[in-house]
Amino acid sequence: MRLVRWHGEDLLERLDDVIAVYGEAMGYSVQLLQTRRGYVAGHTRREAFQAVATLDDDNGLLGFGYGYRGTSGQWWHDQVRNALRRDHRKFWLSNCFELVELHVRPHAQGHGIGAHQLHELLSHAQQQTVLLSTPEAPEATSRAWRLYRRFGFVDVLRHFNFPGDDRPFAVLGRQLPL
């Protein structure tokens, strides 16, 4: 297997595979995945977009991750901004890399793929901080939570509900560079 850096066009060429990995990793319905296609495609045009992918020997997609510079006017950024205290807004959001997606197919999890993808993305991010959101889960049983904690992510918001989703999320962050 190999880790490759992708431009927006590369991700768009493999959008079906990206959505399939996303769906497997998150357990989302086919209907939800169809709406995500447009969001993901739109994200490739955002400022400072970068992506990585892990491919198997047959060029099959095992995992991917991407992010970009978060700015005012972006839905996620504005939701988090409105929930933070003013001093936290300035620190976390003034020059932030938003880690939007980081997923590995369930059968390939536990082999360091997510860690390699995360390290590659954060090593190239030029911003001062990185933020992400992840569903709340018991940290001891969640691979994602253990990965983020191992990389030094701290709590920024906990038990936060984004409009349109009943699940509570945590917003985690860390300073950059790694």
Catalytic residue of the set 22, 66, 68, 148: 148
Exposure string of 1-27, with b = 16+ CB inside 10 Å and e = fewer, is eebeebebeebeebeebbbebbbebee
Question: Alpha carbon of 93 to those of 22, 65, 71, 76, 112: distances in Å?
Answer: 26, 20, 8, 11, 29
pLDDT > 70: what percent of the chain?
A: 99
Output the average pLDDT for the chain.
Answer: 95
**Residue 22 annotated as catalytic:** no
What radius of gyration, in Å, describes the C-alpha atoms of the chain?
Answer: 15
Q: Is the model's pLDDT at 132 over the cut of 80?
A: yes
- 47 — pLDDT class (breaks 50, 70, 90): very high
pTM of the model: 0.95
Q: Is the model's pLDDT at 56 over the cut of 80?
A: yes
Q: What is the pLDDT of residue 91?
A: 97
Q: Classify domain 2-175 at the CATH topology level.
A: Aminopeptidase (3.40.630)
Which residue shows structure tokens 């390699």? 116
Q: What is the pLDDT of residue 30?
A: 80
- 27 — pLDDT class (breaks 50, 70, 90): confident
